């Protein structure tokens, strides 16, 4: 499984980010423009994940997104885990939306 840093993903224009956190987590903070599919729903909602571009997978600290990236790779999708998740994104000073649903 490949992984990358939040800074590297942010530098990619039009990066497709899949957020596998729960809706309650999105209510606290989120990245604008992500595809939001909780990890527990990923198998059923796989058709919502683009198969024609690299998908960067994010969760809170990186554990769930690593699982999701491995699953997506097994399905033939080019998936990359974002190391450190949303916590690392925040610590890097990258833009977040606080509160509200995506």
Nearest to 45 by CA among 36, 54, 53: 36
Query: Is 59 annotated as catalytic?
Result: yes
Whether the CB-CB separation of 56 and 18 falls below 8 Å is answered with yes
Catalytically annotated residue among 16, 59, 69, 86: 59
Provide DSSP, 71-91: HHHHTT--EEEETTHHHHHHH
- Give catalytic residues, as residue numbers: 59
């Amino acid at each position: 499984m490949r992984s990358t840093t939040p800074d590297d993903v942010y530098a990619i224009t039009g990066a497709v980010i899949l957020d596998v956190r729960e809706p309650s987590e999105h209510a606290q903070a989120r990245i604008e423009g992500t595809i939001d599919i909780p990890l527990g729903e990923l198998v059923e909602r796989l058709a919502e994940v683009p198969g024609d571009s690299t998908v960067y997978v994010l969760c809170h600290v990186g554990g769930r997104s690593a699982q999701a990236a491995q699953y997506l790779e097994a399905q033939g999708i080019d998936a990359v885990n974002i190391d450190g998740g949303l916590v690392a994104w925040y610590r890097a000073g990258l833009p977040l939306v606080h509160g509200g649903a995506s």
